[in-house]
């Protein structure tokens, strides 16, 4: 049997994504009622990049599922240095029920997952942040009732991992996804193509725009992210001036639907991609969104263990 992993948002079909979100809502309502990792079985969580939310929500979530989290900051290990990631994965898979990995290039996740019979979860890569999107979609369901047919506008760095995940996961959830960023910061064409293909099955749609006001116009969900992702600090690009018009402030937010909610995966750079007024305002649901990382990832782990017969 081929092992099912969660390396990109489109590793879940629309039905599977919906099932994981249903389970997440159930687990949120009955927080300590599920123990698929009882034993305890262990889950290894590897970080090549910094984290607060992902690290703590996985650590707490694995414990809440009756398991033992093993959190590894990879700087002091052989992980991916000297020893190949494929070999490291084969070793670690003998110890744990699942692996979670935050890294740089997506090829590193693919290599780790190659040849292992336990599920591997992407905890953020240069290309995608699919666990964040499960939390975002859960939040949208809670606040707006459903995702189907809702307009989601993501403005800012439209070339980054969050933009790609909004395109893929939003399309999978039947949303109308609009992304807008400055010239030179557009999403990868292959991701836009794949998201459009998915949207054609789900009744959603995908648009890549330049004008942030056009993107936000009438939107039900307005989202942004840092203009400088981890690893881009020294890439020589001006990551402030071209982005200024994409700031989520009260003027831009006024273009959205009156009931619109504001998402930000955090950490936020207040005064850059989002103002204090919006971040702390009545439409912001960013702290519920952060909480939902915990519930969504518990559901994802539970679902992946079950589907892989573990
Ligand atoms: N949103 C998110 O992934 O946050 P961390 O980088 O703190 O894990
Ligand atoms: N795009 C950001 C998301 C952080 C959660 C980054 O990759 O740094």
Distance CA 160, CA 2 (A): 29
pLDDT in tens, 25-48: 999 999 999 999 999 999 999 999
Q: Tell me the residue range of the domain where 189 lies.
A: 130-289
pLDDT in tens, 222-268: 999 999 999 999 999 999 999 999 999 999 999 999 999 999 999 99
CATH code of the domain covering residue 171: 3.40.50.1370
User: What ipTM does this complex have?
Assistant: 0.99
> Are residues 13 and 116 both part of a single domain?
yes
- For residue 126, which atom of ligand 2 is closest to its CA? 7
Q: Tell me the best of 53, 232, 273 to mutate to test the pocket of ligand 1, counting ligand atoms within 8 Å of each CB and taking the most.
A: 53
> Are residues 212 and 275 both part of a single domain?
yes
40 is in an annotated binding site: no
Q: What is the pTM of this model?
A: 0.98
- Separation of CA 30 and ligand 2 centre (Å): 30
Asked whether residue 137 is domain-assigned, the answer is yes
> Are residues 49 and 154 both part of a single domain?
no
> Are residues 145 and 251 both part of a single domain?
yes
> Are residues 224 and 279 both part of a single domain?
yes
> Are residues 119 and 144 both part of a single domain?
no
**Ligand 2 lined by 56 (C-beta under 6 Å):** no
Asked whether residue 2 is domain-assigned, the answer is no
Q: Are the C-beta atoms of residues 134 and 304 closer than 8 Å to each other?
A: no
Distance CA 255, CA 80 (A): 46
Q: Are the C-beta atoms of residues 47 and 56 closer than 8 Å to each other?
A: no
Asked whether residue 303 is domain-assigned, the answer is yes
266 is in an annotated binding site: yes
| Catalytic residue (one of 225, 239, 247, 297) | 225
The number of domains in the chain is 2
């Amino acid at each position: 049997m081929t092992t099912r992993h969660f390396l990109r948002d489109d590793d879940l079909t629309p039905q599977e994504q919906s099932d994981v979100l249903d389970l997440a809502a159930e687990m949120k309502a009955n927080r300590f009622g599920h123990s698929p990792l009882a034993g305890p079985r262990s889950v290894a969580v590897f970080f090549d990049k910094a984290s607060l939310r992902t690290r703590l929500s996985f650590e707490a979530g694995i414990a809440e599922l009756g398991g033992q989290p093993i959190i590894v900051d990879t700087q002091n290990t052989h992980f991916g240095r000297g020893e190949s990631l494929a070999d490291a994965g084969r070793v670690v898979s003998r110890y744990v029920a699942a692996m979670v990995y935050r890294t740089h290039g997506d090829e590193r996740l693919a290599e780790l997952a190659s040849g292992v019979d336990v599920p591997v979860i992407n905890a953020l890569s240069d290309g995608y942040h699919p666990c964040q999107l499960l939390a975002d979609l859960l939040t949208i369901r809670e606040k707006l009732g459903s995702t189907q047919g809702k307009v989601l506008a993501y403005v800012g760095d439209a070339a980054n991992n969050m933009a790609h995940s909004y395109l893929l996961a939003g399309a999978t959830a039947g949303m109308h996804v609009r992304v807008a960023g400055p010239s030179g910061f557009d999403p990868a064409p292959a991701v836009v193509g794949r998201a459009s293909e998915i949207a054609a099955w789900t009744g959603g749609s995908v648009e890549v725009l330049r004008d942030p006001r056009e993107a936000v116009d009438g939107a039900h969900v307005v989202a942004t992210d840092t203009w400088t992702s981890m690893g881009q600090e020294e890439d020589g690009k001006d990551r402030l001036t071209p982005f200024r018009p994409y700031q989520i402030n009260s003027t831009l937010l006024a273009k959205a639907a009156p009931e619109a909610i504001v998402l930000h995966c955090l950490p936020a750079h207040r005064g850059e991609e989002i103002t204090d007024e919006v971040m702390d305002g009545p439409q912001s649901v960013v702290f519920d969104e952060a909480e939902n990382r915990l519930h969504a990832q518990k559901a994802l782990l539970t679902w992946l263990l079950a589907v892989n017969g573990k």
